[in-house]
Amino acid sequence: MHSRIRAWAQLVRVPNTLTACADVLAGFSIASGSWFAIDGIAASLLLASLLLMCSASVCFYWAGMVLNDVHDIEADRIQRRNGPLVDGRIEIQTAAIAGWMLLISGILLAAISSTLLHDISTTSTRNQSKWLVVGIGFLLAMVIAAYDSRLKATVFGPLLMGMCRGLNLLLGISLGWNLVWPSDTDWMVIAVAVLGHVGFVIGITLAARREGLNHQSNTRLAIAWGVSFLGIVAISLCPLWVRDRPLSLDPWSYYPIAIGLLMAPWLRRAVLSVRDPGVGTLIPAIKQAILSILFLDAAIALQFAGSIPGMIVCGLAIPTLVLARVFRMT
């Protein structure tokens, strides 16, 4: 039983799981602000709703990982890449069924999460915002399925992967819309933040496309990491469009400085992978980029919801690092 659990943990890339939760929490912070603006029973419902939406996001992420390996099984066998599908610890058909069941579970959990928050919402458009959550969940499931198909190897592959991360952020945003939409919505902030996440992950995907090769193209890596850098810039600029909402950090100085400090370890590894292109430098840069998603989301939660939410999201890095010592991240 222990080996079976370990095989599934490897298949779903369990160390990366909490980056999906971080997106939801960051998105909710952008849309609704403080997590603690509601008291009493409503506060309990809010917490339950957030936990359910994080669970939905985990289901979507795990589904993407499982279906990705199912789609890549022949290529992984040719490249002799280690994995629970390649070595037969998990059957292909079983993994495929699990992947589709996880996609369905993600949609259902998102709907339940929105329903809970809908019960404490006082906005006049709460019914519309409720169904918007379900729509975004369904769209995310479709994009995941599209990526884990023949489209993955085309020019659309990186864009689809970036859209998965952007839609995951939108899950949290749409949940927050149950409380505030549309009267207190800063549309430009949301658009820039989502585009920033999309761009950052497009860059990671471009860099990781040939991660198994001993010799990498430094031009391709420079372009890939450049796209990721533009995504970071967008995230650092998104608070500039905030209207009449409290922010924790000055959007012109302290917030972009905080983003820069948090992303410095990834930037260093990215530069090293371009200067000395190879598996030995690229894999650490990719792993650091994935981990950095947590820090980007933590900065967003800090800026829009306060220090405690920011610390909670940042704290997700601890179990992520512990799990990364046992299971692979890529």
Find the mean pLDDT for residues 231-243: 95
Q: What is the DSSP letter of 241?
A: G
CA atoms within 13 Å, Cβ hemisphere of 6:
6
- Whether 70 has a pLDDT exceeding 70, the answer reads yes
Per-residue tokens: 207: 């860099």
CB 96 within 8 A of CB 57: no
Q: What is the pLDDT of residues 127-140, one digit of tens each?
A: 566 788 899 999 99
Backbone Cα Rg of the chain? 19
Find the mean pLDDT for residues 241-255: 92
Find the mean pLDDT for residues 146-166: 95
Average pLDDT, the chain: 90
- Whether 126 has a pLDDT exceeding 80, the answer reads no
CA distance 99 to 34: 34
Kindly state the percentage of the chain with pLDDT values over 70: 92
127-141, 255-269, 316-330: the lowest-pLDDT one: 127-141
CA distance 48 to 152: 35
- Whether 1 has a pLDDT exceeding 80, the answer reads no
pTM: 0.94
Residues 20/208/196/229 CA torsion (nearest 10 deg): 130
For residue 142, name the pLDDT band (cuts at 50, 70, 90).
Answer: very high
Phi, psi at residue 130, to the nearest 5°?
Answer: -60, -50
Q: How far is CA 313 from CA 14, 160, 178, 294, 316, in A?
A: 17, 25, 21, 7, 5
- Whether 178 has a pLDDT exceeding 80, the answer reads no
For residue 82, name the pLDDT band (cuts at 50, 70, 90).
Answer: confident
Per-residue tokens: 170: 């939108």
Task: Report the candidate in 173, 233, 171, 175 with the shortest Cα–Cα distance to residue 20.
Answer: 171
- Whether 88 has a pLDDT exceeding 80, the answer reads yes
Residue 33 pLDDT: 85
CA distance 205 to 157: 8
CB atoms within 10 A of CB 88: 9
Per-residue tokens: 157: 């592959």
For residue 318, name the pLDDT band (cuts at 50, 70, 90).
Answer: very high
CA distance 208 to 226: 14
Q: What is the pLDDT of residues 270-293, one digit of tens each?
A: 999 999 888 889 999 999 999 999
Find the mean pLDDT for residues 252-259: 96
Residue 125 pLDDT: 52
